[in-house]
Amino acid sequence: MGCALTALLALAAFAAGCARSSQYASEEMSFEKTTFSFDQDRAPYTIFREYKMAPGDLLDVLYHVDTWRTSKEDFRIAVDHTVAVKFVNVPTLSEEQMVRPDGTISLPYLGSVTVVGKTVQELTADLRSRYSAILKSPDLYVLVPEYRLRIQEFKQDLHTAPRGLSRLVTVRPDGYATFAMLGDVLVAGRAIPEVAKYMNEEYEKKMPGLSVDLFLEKHAGSLVYVLGEVGRPGAYPIMRYTSVEEAMALAEGPLPTAKLDQVVVVRRHGDKMAAVKLNVKKTLWLDSDGKFFYLLPDDIVYVPRRKFARWADVARDIGDITFFRGWSVGAQYRLDNKGQ
């Protein structure tokens, strides 16, 4: 990118004429950095402050299973856990049952007993109190033997997979990704720490001791679109904030027919599209009032032909191109001539 931009700047400086070139032959120029007014807080435009996931992104999910967490005092019984109630002095009354969908188990003399949501200590105290009216010595204790088995089975399933405790998950075109035990989770448009926090909260509810680390294995969403009078119009990946001049260099530079004093940048803002006209010629020709305008992912850069002088013509051309490419900008959003 650096070499292409250097070549582009050199070409523009040469085209400006010998008089202009000699004027800046030994003078160092400095330019301001800018972007749309509603995104000015993103300065100094060095790195993406927060990456938002997009369809096509590949996520690496690393699972952690802490079996020691099964002894936590605040562990609570849930549906599908197996609960064992052992009577020390009357072993014939002992029961071991899976918690039913209604959150209960059946015990001798008591019938249906709600156990879901209780800790082992709470259930033990409750049963001792209730059996004290029936038995002389209600000496009993409660176990959840199946819970540790569930963790071991889950851990074994992860280990038998090709990536061990890690899984690769792709964000689907609808913005969802499918995770073990959680099912479909909407992740597009959300930051990785936000989704990881949500997943860990849900896993804590389903299986205390199970947590994940979420990594971006491969991204597919950081693209800018360069259209119009450039050598190679298309979508280009960016790994950091990129100026309009750098984006044009990625597209093999402007054509001789390009109108560089009316380059248009379009960005989604809320429920509409905001647009700004830029005089890129000022920057390329080293004018003192030139500015480097920085792009964000999904920005559209349109370089019009020289014959276009009216904003309405440029807006119509952008609308035709974006609609043809399936973006439906012209149908769903209003192009406002707003910028810096």
CATH node for 2-48+222-337: 3.10.560.10
Share of the chain above pLDDT 70, in %: 70
Give the pLDDT confidence score for residue 320 in this predicted structure: 56
Confidence grade of residue 340 (pLDDT, cut at 50, 70, 90)? very low
Confidence grade of residue 194 (pLDDT, cut at 50, 70, 90)? very high
Give the pLDDT confidence score for residue 331 in this predicted structure: 34
Q: Do the two domains 2-48+222-337 and 76-143 of this chain adopt the same fold?
A: no
Tell me what the pLDDT averaged over the chain comes to: 77
**Domain 76-143 superfamily per CATH:** wza like domain (3.30.1950.10)
**CA–centroid distance for 72 within its chain:** 33
pLDDT in tens, 88-107: 888 889 999 989 989 999 99
> Hey, where are the domains in the chain?
2-48+222-337, 58-67+153-218, 76-143
pLDDT in tens, 142-188: 988 765 555 655 666 565 555 557 889 999 989 999 998 889 999 98
Question: pTM of this prediction?
Answer: 0.53
CATH node for 58-67+153-218: 3.30.1950.10
User: Which comes out higher in pLDDT, residue 66 or 198?
Assistant: 198
pLDDT in tens, 242-295: 899 999 999 999 999 899 988 999 998 877 788 888 999 888 787 777 788 888
Give the pLDDT confidence score for residue 146 in this predicted structure: 61
Quickly count helices (H) and strands (E) in the chain.
9, 19
Give the three-state DSSP class for 91: helix
pLDDT in tens, 177-187: 999 888 999 99
The whole-angstrom separation of Cα 309 and Cα 305 is: 9
Residue from 165, 76, 159 nearest 123 by CA: 76
pLDDT in tens, 291-320: 888 888 889 999 998 865 456 655 665 665
Task: Determine if the peptide bond prior to 55 is cis (ω within 30°).
Answer: no
User: Taking the CB of residue 156, how many other CB atoms lie within 10 A of it?
Assistant: 9
The pair of structure tokens assigned to 37 is 């007014």
